[in-house]
Amino acid sequence: MPKRSADLVHYAVLAVVFLIALAVPFVFGTLSILGSMTVFLLLLSWSISWRQGDKVSSDGKPDRSSWLFWAMAGVIAIVIPIIAGTPFLLATMVAFFIYLTWNTMWGLVLGTAGLQSFATVAVAGIAGYATAYMTIDIANSNAAAAGAECSGNRLLGLPVVDWWIAIPIAAVVGLVVGFLISLPAIRLRGIYFALLTIGLVELCRAYTGQDKCNLGGAQGLFGASSFIPSDMMGSATGYRYAYAAAVLLAIVALLIYWKVNYGRLGLLLRTARESEPVAEVLGVDVVRARMWVFLISSSMLGAAGGFYVSYYKSISPNFFNFSTVLLLFAMVVIGGLNSPRGILIGTMLLMFVDRRFVDVSPPEARFIFIGLLLLVVTLLASGGLVSVPDQIRHRLMSKGKRGSGPSAGPPEVVGAIAQEAHMPPGSRPDTD
C-alpha cells in the first residue's frame, strides 16, 4: 500500500476510535468519558511511537506527528465540558489536572534528575497550608475554639491576604522547602533519600494534626480565599471557571517539563544517568544540575498546592496520607515516568479507576486493583504503558539480530529510538 494511502487509513481509524470515545458517555454515563479518552490517547500514543521509531518521513525530516497527541489532548480538554459537563465530572477533571501538575513535576525529579524522592505531597502540602494560613484569620477563630491554649496572635504578625497574593507566595514557599529537602541529597543517595522524604511526609501529617492553634489540628483549615467568585460557588458555571483555571495550571507544568527535560539541564542529567563518573569527567556538575531540577519542580508544586487550597477552600492532615503518595506514584509509573505522554495517560487511567470504584465495598478494593495493575505493568512494560511499542520493537530487533547477525540494529540505536519516540519534534535531531 502506498505511503499516502496508508497514512489516510491510519488517521481514518484514529478518527473512528475518537468518535466512539465521544459516544461512550451517552451510553455508560458522564464519568466513562474519562476512561474512553484514556484508551483513545493510549492508542494514539502507541501509534505515534511506532511510526516515529519505524521510520523518518521520506523527505528526510523528522516525523512531527507527536504534536498530534497534544493537539488531540487539547481538543479533548475543550470537548469534555461540552459533551459531559456535569458538576461531578468537572470537579473530577479539576482534581485530575491538579494531579497531573503534581505528577509532571514528580516526573522531572524521578525521571530527569534521577532522585528517588517522595516529597511531592510534602512540598505541595506545606505550600497549601501556607496559602490557607495567609488567607484565613485562623489564629483568632482557633483561639476561640481552643480557649486558653492559644494566644490568638498570628505568626510573625502576618496579615490576611487574597488568593492572588497567596498563590505566588506559595510558589516561593515551595522553592524554600525544596531547597531544604535537596540539601541532604548531596550526601544521601538512592533508598536513603527516599526514606528521608517518606519520613518528611509522615512528619507533616503528624505535626499538622497536632497544631490546633495555627493549623487547625485534625480538622485542618477551612474557609480559604478562592479564585472562584462567591456567587458562582457550587454552580456549574463555577466548576467551568475552575476547570479553565486547572487546565491553565497543567499547561504551565507541561511547558516547564519540556523546557527542563529537553533543554540543557535534561541533556546533562541524561548523560549523568548513563554514567555519572563519565559525566563528571566531562565537567558536568551533577549535584548542581539535580538541585536545579528539584528547585524548579518544588516551586511549581508549591503553586499547585496553593491552587489546591484556593479551589477546595480547605486543607487537612489527610492531605499527607501515604495512600495519596502511593496513588500518585502509581499514576507516574503505570503511564511512564520518562514521558509526559505517559504521565498524562497514567494520571487519567488511575483517576478514572479511583472515581469509578470509589463506592465499591470495601473502599480499599480499588487500591488492590491499582496495586495489581502496577504489578502487571512493571513486570511486562518496565517503561510504563507508553513504552509498549518501543519494547515490542526492541524484542523484534533482538530476535532479528540473533537470526541474521549484522542486519539488526545495535543496542545504542534501539535506545535512541526509545528516547526520541517521546521527545517533542523540535528537540529531535534531524536525520539525513
Q: Write the pLDDT tens digit of every residue in 374-424.
A: 999 988 888 899 999 988 888 888 877 665 554 444 444 444 445 555 555
pLDDT digits (tens, 9 = 90+) for 30-67: 889 999 999 999 999 999 888 776 554 444 444 566 78
Q: Quick one: pLDDT at residue 21? A: 93
Q: Given a cut of 60, is residue 432 above it in pLDDT?
A: no
Please check whether residue 429 lies inside any domain of the structure. no
Q: By percentage, how much of the chain surpasses pLDDT 70? A: 85
Q: Given a cut of 70, is residue 187 above it in pLDDT?
A: yes
Confidence at 158, pLDDT banded by 50, 70, 90 = confident
Q: Quick one: pLDDT at residue 151? A: 62
Q: Quick one: pLDDT at residue 423? A: 56
Average pLDDT, the chain: 85
Q: Quick one: pLDDT at residue 100? A: 98
Q: Quick one: pLDDT at residue 55? A: 52
DSSP code of residue 112: I
Q: Which carries the bigger pLDDT value, residue 417 or residue 361?
A: 361
Nine-digit cell at 202? 509522615
Q: Which carries the bigger pLDDT value, residue 256 or residue 54?
A: 256
Q: Which carries the bigger pLDDT value, residue 428 or residue 39?
A: 39
Please check whether residue 152 lies inside any domain of the structure. yes
Q: Which carries the bigger pLDDT value, residue 86 or residue 276?
A: 86
pLDDT digits (tens, 9 = 90+) for 294-334: 999 999 999 999 999 999 999 999 999 999 999 999 999 99
Q: Where are the beta strands (DSSP E) in 313-420?
A: 314-315
Q: Given a cut of 90, is residue 345 above it in pLDDT?
A: yes
Q: Residue 105: how many CB atoms within 10 A of its CB?
A: 31
DSSP code of residue 282: T
Q: Given a cut of 90, is residue 277 above it in pLDDT?
A: no
User: Considering the entire predicted model, what is its pTM?
Assistant: 0.88
Please check whether residue 2 lies inside any domain of the structure. no
Please check whether residue 359 lies inside any domain of the structure. no
Please check whether residue 381 lies inside any domain of the structure. no
**257-263 long-range contacts, CB within 8 A, separation 24+:** 257/104, 257/105, 257/107, 257/108, 257/340, 258/340, 258/424, 258/427, 260/108, 260/112, 260/293, 260/296, 261/108, 261/111, 261/112, 261/340, 262/423, 262/424, 262/427
Q: Quick one: pLDDT at residue 327? A: 94
Closest residue by Cα to residue 94 from 249, 220, 226, 221: 249
Confidence at 212, pLDDT banded by 50, 70, 90 = confident
Residue 121's domain spans which residues?
86-320
- 259 CA to centre of own chain: 15
Helix (H) or strand (E) holding 357: none
Q: Quick one: pLDDT at residue 348? A: 97
Q: Given a cut of 80, is residue 349 above it in pLDDT?
A: yes
DSSP code of residue 315: E
The Cα 344–Cα 346 span in angstroms is: 6
Please check whether residue 114 lies inside any domain of the structure. yes
Please check whether residue 116 lies inside any domain of the structure. yes
The answer to whether the CB of 347 falls within 8 A of the CB of 254 is no
For the chain, what is the total number of helices (H) and then of strands (E)? 18, 2
Please check whether residue 378 lies inside any domain of the structure. no
Q: Mean of the pLDDT values across residues 268-282?
A: 75
Q: Quick one: pLDDT at residue 336? A: 94
Q: Mean of the pLDDT values across residues 75-81?
A: 93
Q: Quick one: pLDDT at residue 420? A: 52
Nine-digit cell at 134? 495567609
pLDDT digits (tens, 9 = 90+) for 110-152: 999 888 999 999 999 999 999 999 999 865 555 444 444 676 6
Q: Given a cut of 60, is residue 427 above it in pLDDT?
A: no
Confidence at 85, pLDDT banded by 50, 70, 90 = confident
The answer to whether the CB of 385 falls within 8 A of the CB of 68 is no
Count of domains observed in the chain: 1
